[in-house]
Amino acid sequence: MEQETKRMLMERLDDCLKVHADLLDSQDIGSIYELQDLAQLHYYLKVEHPFTPAEVEALLSFQDPLEVARWCKEENTHAHSFPICELLNEIRAYERFEPAPKQDESSQTFARFREALASDYFGFREQALSWSRERLFDAAGEIAALSDTFGALLSKYTPVKEEMDFFLQFTHPLQIISRYGPFEDIGQAMKTLYAERENLIDEAFEPPAERSSLRERLQVAIRESSRMGVPDPDKKPHHEKER
């Protein structure tokens, strides 16, 4: 059982590193160095660190265990050891970082949601590779919004099941969500989009001239709800972890 749990953690670490690599801003030197540090930490955790069963379980409890381990490493003052469980408490990790979904129907939905987002994101990127330089320039804002939304949904917020079920109806859920960004608070934005789901569906069937107007109204609603923090009355409260 311990070996199986450790294997699950190793796979999660692989997935997390791939996500961070895909979100890399290749024009930012700081981001490149940060990814290099993450890759080195990833190697250390997979090859060198003598995990205890408690450490494996602890890291698996987070949505992005690699990011959590990075913060543990930055705060580690032990010269010859890396006591992960102790460091998790020191950095208040259970308060600061998004937990992994519980292993129930909701977690299965979350796995499907992540797969749908990734498929949409990488499909869009592959399509963009064939675009002309002019079209890429014109779509720079759209590409940036898609990347930012993808990263935020995977690392800063776990949608509730109702939200995920709704967006899984779309062929391109990530593109649907990102068109209303940029988002100051991805959690509040998702709540607002779900609350406005009937209008969001209507947009797809509106004439082009009216479509932009509806989109603007939804964007205003998202900004206002982010400032006011108004909860969605259709759902139970869901609190986003502070990063």
Q: Which residue has the higher pLDDT, 128 or 158?
A: 128
User: What is the C-alpha R_g of the chain?
Assistant: 20
The SS3 assignment for 235 reads coil
pLDDT of residue 235: 42
What pLDDT is attached to residue 27?
75
Q: How confident is the model at residue 207 (pLDDT cuts 50, 70, 90)?
A: low
Q: What is the pLDDT of residues 176-197, one digit of tens each?
A: 898 887 888 888 889 888 988 8
Structure tokens at 2: 């311990």
Alpha-carbon distance of 23 to 218, in angstroms, equals 26
- Residues facing residue 99 across a β-bridge: 62
Q: Find, among 158, 157, 64, the residue nearest to 106 by Cα.
A: 158
Query: What share of the chain has pLDDT > 70, as a percent?
Result: 84
| pLDDT confidence of residue 91 | 93
The confidence score (pLDDT) of residue 65 equals 94
Give the per-residue pLDDT at 114.
Answer: 86
Q: Considering only the C-alpha atoms of the chain, give the largest distance between any 2 of them, rounded to a whole number of Å.
A: 65
Q: What is the rounded average pLDDT of the residues 109-118?
A: 86
231 or 191, greater pLDDT:
191
Comparing 202 with 132, the larger pLDDT belongs to 132
Q: Is the pLDDT of residue 105 over 80?
A: no
Task: Specify whether the CB–CB gap between 76 and 25 falls below 8 A.
Answer: no
Amino acid at 176: I
pLDDT tens, residue by residue, 13-70: 998 898 888 777 777 788 888 889 999 999 999 999 999 999 999 999 998 999 999 9
* Between 203 and 206, the higher pLDDT residue: 203
Mean of per-residue pLDDT scores for the chain: 83
| pLDDT score, position 232 | 45
Overall pTM surpassing 0.75 (yes/no): no
